Amino acid sequence: MPAEAFDEVDWDAIRLTLTGKPKMYNQWYSKQCSGWCGTGKNLKHWKRTDDARCPNCNTLEEDAGHLMVCRSQDRSRLLEEHVVAIDEWMKSHFTEPLLQQLVTQYFRGRGTRKFRKLDGHSYKTASLAEAQDKIGWRHFTEGKIALRFRVIQRYFLQHSDTRLTVDSWLKGFVSKLLAMTHAQWIFRCITKHHRTKGTIVLKATEDLLQEVERQLSMG
Ligand SMILES: [Zn+2]
């Protein structure tokens, strides 16, 4: 991450979120962020496989950056489920409405749309968009949100009929972001396992999604 983007990130929000998570979860998180997770490309490099393709879309040399841009149908469906859930969470947790609307659009762009190119910006969100674009899509999905989220949300919460603090909001939001990304990883690992074993096909997608949820609930 470039130095100018580094200073735009709300690192406290990430710390707050990770503190409450199990050790295994923290391990997954640091591997994903550093790029040293068991992707096809790394496994091939470590000589643990000769198949470096993404198990879901067959992209060659699957790396950590591919996790949140994979266009396989199943992975897209899983992502959309999370987008809908995060949108609902934002609605029920006093999220500034414009922010909610922009974030949901940003998710659906999956890195192909810059934050500042989304529809409906106002003077309130211009500097947030600029900062978030410096940080970028992949880092966003790894919980690195611009500091302006805190400023906009704090103001909105103070003027809403709630006792929710901005720290609680940030912790909830970043947790949801990470859960979305973690779900993609779990799904990918389950499908990879099935393919490696040669068990023809995965069970129906429904079963698979349930398995993902089960693993997620274990943390
Ligand atoms: Zn893929």
Give tens-digit pLDDT for 57-68.
Answer: 999 999 999 999
Domain assignment present for 146: yes
Domain assignment present for 148: yes
Q: Please provide the DSSP assignment of the chain as one string.
A: --HHHHTTB-HHHHHHHHHTS-HHHHHHHHHHHHT-S--HHHHHHTTS-S--S-TTT--SS--GGGTTT---HHHHHHHHHHHHHHHHHHHHTT--HHHHHHHHHHHHHTTSS-GGGSTT--TTTHHHHHHHHHH-HHHHHTT--BTHHHHHHHHHHHTSS----HHHHHHHHHHHHHHHHHHHHHHHHHHHHHHHHT--S-S-HHHHHHHHHHHHHT-
For the entire predicted model, the pTM comes to 0.90
The chain-wide mean pLDDT, for the chain, equals 91
pLDDT above 90: residue 47: no
Domain assignment present for 140: yes
pLDDT above 70: residue 200: no
Domain assignment present for 95: yes
**105-125 confidence digits (pLDDT tens):** 999 999 999 999 999 999 999
Domain assignment present for 184: yes
Confidence class for position 151, pLDDT limits 50, 70, 90: very high
Distance 209 CA to ligand 1 centre (A): 17
Residue 199 structural domain: 3-22+75-217
Distance 90 CA to ligand 1 centre (A): 28
Confidence class for position 208, pLDDT limits 50, 70, 90: low
Are 176 and 85 contacting, i.e. CB atoms less than 8 angstroms apart? yes
Domain count for the chain, please give it.
Answer: 1
Domain assignment present for 58: no
In this predicted structure, what is the pLDDT of residue 215?
A: 72
Confidence class for position 199, pLDDT limits 50, 70, 90: very low
Domain assignment present for 147: yes
Distance 134 CA to ligand 1 centre (A): 25
Domain assignment present for 200: yes
Distance 55 CA to ligand 1 centre (A): 7
